Amino acid sequence: MSLTSTAYRHSAFLLLLLVYQWVSAQQLPPQKMEVVRLAGLDSITVIPETADSAAGKNTLARAANPHRVWTVAGVHAGLYAGSLILLNEAWYKGYPKTSFQTFDDSKEWLQVDKVGHAWTAYQLSRGSMASWKWAGLNEKQQVWLGGLSGFAFLTVIEFLDAHSAEWGWSWGDMAANTLGSSLMVAQQLGWKEQRISFKLFGTSTAEKMLKDYNGQTYWLSANLKSFFRQSKLPPWLNIAVGYGADGMYGGFSNTWTDESTGISYDYTQVPRVRQWYLAPDIDFTRIPTKSKFLRSVFFCLNAFKLPAPTLQYSNGKFTFYGLYF
């Protein structure tokens, strides 16, 4: 698969995800509320203020709001249908259709694209869960519908790939999608919160981050206070482990052909290397605030890693960055 086609499809997924995250974040509960623990969507129970709660009875269950349920279902359907139509028109329409076919891309891009699939599934599931929470569904319904929504959307994309001559059904992609959605579901069912956030940040300019797998770093960011509750650590402080790669000019090797000119290139002299990172981070959702706008902003920001001092391990060497982007 070419760098250009792969990168632009990934850019579309990222743009869709940002829109979806913002729409979901806008569907947080209204200003008049009780905040149990912290004011972050991933780590609190937020319930409307009632006479019982005012009297100190923290009733965690609430009835589903039929109007909101239909609203959320409509938003899901609209975003899914609209994005699929857009993707079909922008990419798949220009390539010949074929019968169902598979494509083994498990070794492509040093698996950075697979980690990207997992991140996308996690974030779509997280956003979907937030919207179902706003609709008033009980906790298990929120979690399972959120996880299945993120997974289902990417599965449909995989079916489109399977019937396009340019791509194909990828079991590696499906495994990554499953892992991403499962990370959200397992934490919410087990811990009732997202203690480990799945984040993305670019290693260079925003344009390169979107168009080049060399410019993407993915992070698992663990909240320290949630694991060490008796400590005096700030509730928003995280420690993150990241993964990326560099020196990649093609999916499987550093040889590729420019689709627009037909010219072939050979950069096999450039080593393809994996990169591992360790850095502090912030869980924005654990910053206390009563502002609905800030909660929405923090919810969206928590999909991305904060630039920070970072230790990198790659090609047998350690490198320290005072501020890593």
Whole-prediction pTM:
0.80
- Dihedral class, residue 117 (left if φ above 0, else alpha if ψ from -120 to 50, else beta): alpha
**Burial 146-164, CB ≥16 within 10 A → b, else e:** bbebbbbbbeebbebbbbb
Q: What is the pLDDT of residues 248-300, one digit of tens each?
A: 988 899 998 887 888 999 999 999 999 999 999 999 999 999 998 999 999 99
d(CA 133, CA 120): 20
- Give the pair of three-digit tokens for residue 134: 């706003």
- Give the pair of three-digit tokens for residue 310: 């970072």
d(CA 295, CA 139): 20
CB 147 within 8 A of CB 185: yes
Q: What is the pLDDT of residues 17-50, one digit of tens each?
A: 555 555 555 554 443 433 334 434 444 333 343 3
d(CA 317, CA 87): 41
d(CA 266, CA 255): 5
CB 69 within 8 A of CB 63: no
pLDDT band for position 239 (cuts 50, 70, 90): very high
- Give the pair of three-digit tokens for residue 298: 């923090």
- For 274, the 3-state DSSP assignment is strand
